[in-house]
Structure 1
């Protein structure tokens, strides 16, 4: 399967690319081809030949390509100009990527950051599953926050169609994932409303999903909480210490894109774990 790996050529992103453990996790997910993409501003032209890219950018891409190739991946590189989230999503469509990978921190020599609005915009518009990889900084040194990307997964579901589609990611996670926690957060005061004869209660529905994972060899536990979604997902993260949080990008809302800003995007912004966000199937 193909992955688009977004790089700003920073030390932070190179730290992630240098992590053999992270790369092995991607390979166990099923990734064998990588499109290494960097996006520069269309206004940066000094020293760049017409139709070409700067030498510094090319050297950075070549260096990171060799690291990925040494890990056993087939790699192509691209340096493009434009709006990062549009170009990255566009490349993902072109190569039919199974996954987009972006780092949550880092600043390039060209001052093009892949944090903040860029990551949010990619998450908001992504038409392919997006892995936001945490890269921390301690004592002026960068390090990946969770090397074993998919070892422990916290799956958050509101039982929407998109959440069900996100659960299908376990088909790729069967090999790298050892433990999974299945979480449903009921709105305050509404938990009892879903427990009717027509709609099985949350514990039963989560239990059925847990049985599927147990059949795949993944140890699964369930948790049902009541409260605000983001707050309870982050509380569950603190309790269960997942390496990755898995969730759909949109849920039960007529304003689907706005829902991302209130839930998935807030989790991306506030969590310490990696986050794997899956768009609705129909978006693809």
Structure 2
């Protein structure tokens, strides 16, 4: 892995994002790129429109001049805010022992700017919520949901609080994304120092197909010199996974992204969305 992209907005999730980004950078020997996007809408002010008929031509011109000056002031404040946020990111990463990182500020919309940087990144790190997180507890930030759904790269979605990673849970379903998770772990021997849990959830704990998938994944990990703790649980995937995380004190979840149809997402959501919403640990999502 060469580059990890950290997306920040300076919110209460930012400190955790930096710490998790630093942890992965150290483990994977990767450099970091921190991206802060100044929302272009925050620099716009209301237009006077054609007000000359109601407030007079002179008054309209004066108001327009005031609005232009206000727009300039807002641009200055946004530039100062961007510098402060990136300075905080620099200090946070430096305190974590990171020396190789880049700070980038763009103006526009994150979901649009993101793909420009995603192409040259191997892992994306972003907070579960954003600036309005306190007003929507338990919900994903709009940018997070859109990025995780659209990104072709693994995305690490972090909670508000940092927790040292000691136990990793693989939610395995035998899919292509599940196989990518196994390959990811196999590519980086550093994870062998951690406790690895392998979990498959099925409608019945006697499901032979699910059991076969679990055994195949277990054997693959053993060949890669892991000794996973394996479990086959019966029930709804999101409930079983969340309960397992709590019971086993899991500190990082690896899972596939959005395995069902787009229509199902719109009607009843998905396991991925529900777990991202309810989880209080970082979730590394693979497509």
- TM-score using structure 1 length: 0.76
Which residue is 2:164 aligned to? 147
Q: State the alpha-carbon separation in 1 of the partners of residues 228 and 28 from structure 2.
A: 22
The 3-state SS of whatever aligns with 1:101 is: strand
Give the distance between the partners of 2:230 and 2:141, measured in 1 at CA: 32
How far off its partner does 1:115 sit? 4.8
Q: Could you tell me how far apart the structure 2 residues matched to 1:115 and 1:182 are?
A: 26
Equivalent residue, structure 2, for 1:78? 104
2:128 paired residue among 75, 90, 104: 104
Count residues with an aligned counterpart. 251
Q: 2:30 aligns with which of 14, 32, 35?
A: 32
Greater per-residue helix proportion: 2
- Kept in 1: contact 2:186–2:221 (CA 8 A): no
Other-structure match for 2:200: 184
| Counterpart-to-counterpart distance in 2, 1:133 and 1:14 | 10
When the two chains are superposed, the root-mean-square deviation of aligned CA atoms in Å is 3.1
Q: Does 1:63 align with 2:88?
A: yes
Conserved 8 A contact 1:8-1:107: yes
For structure 1, the 5+ residue unaligned runs are 137-143, 196-200, 280-284
Kept after mapping to 2: 8 A contact 1:29/1:172: no
Which one is further off, 29-38 or 121-130?
A: 29-38
1:139 matched to which residue of 2? none
Report matched runs for 1:223-238 at 5 Å.
223-238=231-246
Deviation per CA, 1:64-114: give whole Å up to 9, x if none: 124424523422222223332332233111xx2110001224528xx9xx9
Matched, 1:163 2:171: no
2:173–2:213 contact (8 Å) kept in structure 1: no
Per-residue deviation, residues 106-159 of structure 1 (Å, max 9, x unmatched): 528xx9xx95222222211121100011114xxxxxxx2x232xx311111221
Return the TM-score normalized by structure 2.
0.75
Q: Which residue of 2 aligns with 1:10?
A: 11
Q: Deviations over 1:6-41 (max 9, x none)?
A: 111235413542x4xx45531344142111111222
In 2, Cα distance between the equivalents of 1:4 and 1:117?
A: 18
Structure 2: distance between partners of 1:80 and 1:10 = 17
Aligned to 2:276: 268
Secondary structure at 2:90 match in 1: helix
* Conservation of the 8 A alpha-carbon contact between 1:203 and 1:222: no
